[in-house]
Structure 1
Amino acid sequence: MTRRLIRPRRWDPPRLDDAGATARLDVARLLPTGGRGPEDVVFDREGRIIAGLADGRVVRIDPETGERTVLADTGGRPLGLHPRDDGGVLVCDHDKGLLEIGADGAVTRLVEVAFASNVVEASDGTIWFTSSTTQWTLEEHLGDVFEHSCTGRLLRRDTDGTVTTVLDGLKFANGLVLAPDESYLLVAETAGYRIRRHWVDGRTEVLVDNLPGFPDNMWLGSDGLLWVAIAAPRNALLDRLLPRPGFLRLLLWNLPDAVRPKAVPIAWAMAFTLDGERVHDLRTTDGSYGFVTSVAERNGLVVLGSLTASDVAVLGNSHA
């Protein structure tokens, strides 16, 4: 198989400092989605789980009974989700851009954008959303990690439909959370191993740096904690190559799949205070779940989503 050419950019990553897990991640049960790849999982106002599937459907699942309802079919690949109080859902769709699903199931495109990743809405109707990369697709997302393209963006859609790029040059912009008082946003930079805080007044700072893995979607829990899905541990070889001449990464990128370094199979979620202090670091390699791309907490119930799994995982750990 011939891969697309990568154009590596040098970056000197921080030296890995992994404090280890605070507890084992315990999958208590699995909720079938009726499809595959619930990449983002969120709770609606009623405590039901909403997830987007690889076949384009957005489903709602009762966490107690497992009952499923199809809300809509985007015709693309839904990723990040934001539930609205009226029963509608904002959707970042990899293929279609920023969409809204009405309470009646009608799908409307709001913004056409490459690799729309995650979305939140302010009380005044302002919509904030991320675009992970302008260079790569979901299927080729590792190309962006190897290349380190830094083409991720944070964008804002005002109520009049005007779209503004608020931040660019992000290292694979991904999960997005709006502060309770709406004064700032938290943005996961997957390929930068960090979470950035962007104040609405324009200031930007790093909230959490030097994460031991690749942060993906995020969720502000009812417990006041920032829950962060960790898709995979950092790769020591990639970290060594990132500051070196780009042809070394090009050689690695073009190796056959059978001999290329593989991500360590793991299910992993972390939680932080809004000051960036680590509270939970939950991990397991027992094969009960994997490739965690989202985590959400509500009233002590913690659920996980995955780009590759068929189910939503419900954790058995107590996090109240």
Structure 2
Amino acid sequence: MDRPTALVPRRYVTIGGRGPEDVVADAHGRVLTGVEDGRILRIDGLAEPTEAARVEVLADTGGRPLGLELLPDDGLVVCDAEHGLLRVDLADGTVRILADSVAGERLRFCSNVVALPDGSVCFTVSSRRHPLEHWIGDLVEHTATGRLLRLAPGSETPEVLLDGLQFANGLALSADGSFLIVAETSAYRLTRYWLTGPRTGHGEPFVENLPGMPDNLWRGTPDGPTWVALAGPRVPPLDLLHRTAPAVRRAAARVAVRAPFRPTGTIGVLAVDDTGTVVHHLARRHSRFRMVTSVCESGGRLILGSMWERGVAVCEPPVPR
């Protein structure tokens, strides 16, 4: 992988809530996000450097919204870490549960979601052992209990497409709709799941050995790349721990969830095309804005979200190659 170019911030915008974990841009360039207290926010004016951004509350899930997916009918699908898979009507803020269990097991830690052209919804569950507030425990324990699920139109019961994923996280659809890209955070890789063709229903490595932990994915247009947020750099001691016995990892996880956590100042984002080629890699050390969990494009800028911060970062786009 080529050396990264500089990730250049232009401004940081507070939004009146903590932890805008996922950011997605709508057709008007406005950015939607969910924050820690359950609210879904819409932010306008981020690309206008001389104007204050305008923040509007669209809905409240009553839980912890994470991944978001805009629908063409003015709806929003939300992965809520406490309540499962939700649909929000953006016109009136109504929240409806689409699914809250799978095979009799409560859905917890839903992470990211994408809608398919046939009306079905695919989404990830990061862990079946650790809830969101203990996310670091799953990264340490390396449970491989992440899942990729699909909810068919009109159904309330998701089906499991892939199991045994290492902290399943971001999700994106290929330009031609033939496969999904799934981020496996603690494996430093992107996985491809085939929706059509001779390998339909199979998963395989897509991009491996990433320079950091991939989090949410975002694709703005079918002909554009898939953007990958890197929530943190690689951690060599963690890689060594992953090679130890399960009992050792479980003990380390119990310690990790009780220890104070502070993210590093090293942040980064990638863009990959549908052949698995990295077309952009931007990074910054000693950043004031930490733990980048999402990235999208809006108004000719990159917008960064964070599980840690109280706002979003507006950055320069990459130089075209």
TM-score when normalising by structure 2? 0.88
Instruction: Name the counterpart of 1:199.
Output: 194
Preserved contact between residue 252 and residue 260 of structure 1 (Cα < 8 Å): no
Alignment partner of 1:122 is 2:104: no
| 1:229 to 1:173, Cα distance in 2 relative to 1, 3 A | same
Instruction: Name the counterpart of 1:98.
Output: 85
| 1:146 to 1:317, Cα distance in 2 relative to 1, 3 A | same
What is the alpha-carbon distance in structure 2 between the residues aligned to residue 43 and residue 255 of structure 1? 38
The counterpart of 1:175, out of the listed 159, 162, 170, is 170
Overall identity of the aligned pairs, in %: 44
Secondary structure, in 3 states, of the residue corresponding to 1:239?
Answer: helix
User: Which residue identity does 1:221 align to in structure 2?
Assistant: G
| 1:159 to 1:251, Cα distance in 2 relative to 1, 3 A | closer
Preserved contact between residue 233 and residue 267 of structure 2 (Cα < 8 Å): no
Structure 2, unpaired ranges of 5+: 101-106
Secondary structure, in 3 states, of the residue corresponding to 1:37?
Answer: coil
Secondary structure, in 3 states, of the residue corresponding to 1:141?
Answer: helix
Preserved contact between residue 27 and residue 288 of structure 1 (Cα < 8 Å): no
What is the alpha-carbon distance in structure 2 between the residues aligned to residue 20 and residue 263 of structure 1? 25
What is the alpha-carbon distance in structure 1 between the residues aligned to residue 154 and residue 258 of structure 2? 50
Instruction: Name the counterpart of 2:297.
Output: 297
Secondary structure, in 3 states, of the residue corresponding to 2:77?
Answer: strand
Instruction: Name the counterpart of 1:236.
Output: 236
Secondary structure, in 3 states, of the residue corresponding to 1:118?
Answer: strand
Preserved contact between residue 233 and residue 263 of structure 1 (Cα < 8 Å): no
Alignment partner of 1:137 is 2:131: yes
Instruction: Name the counterpart of 1:15.
Output: none
Q: State the Cα distance separating 1:248 from its structure 2 match.
A: 4.3
Deviations 1:209-248 (A, max 9, x none): 1112110001113461111000111111111222123454
The alignment of Structure 1 onto Structure 2 pairs a total of residues equal to 302
What is the alpha-carbon distance in structure 2 between the residues aligned to residue 175 and residue 82 of structure 1? 11
Instruction: Name the counterpart of 1:216.
Output: 215
Higher mean C-alpha deviation, range 241-250 or range 81-90:
241-250
1:244-283 equivalent positions in 2, closer than 5 A = 244-250=244-250, 252-253=252-253, 264-283=264-283
Instruction: Name the counterpart of 1:153.
Output: 147
User: Which residue identity does 1:129 align to in structure 2?
Assistant: F
Deviations 1:87-118 (A, max 9, x none): 22110000110000013210000010111101
Instruction: Name the counterpart of 1:49.
Output: 31
Instruction: Name the counterpart of 2:103.
Output: none
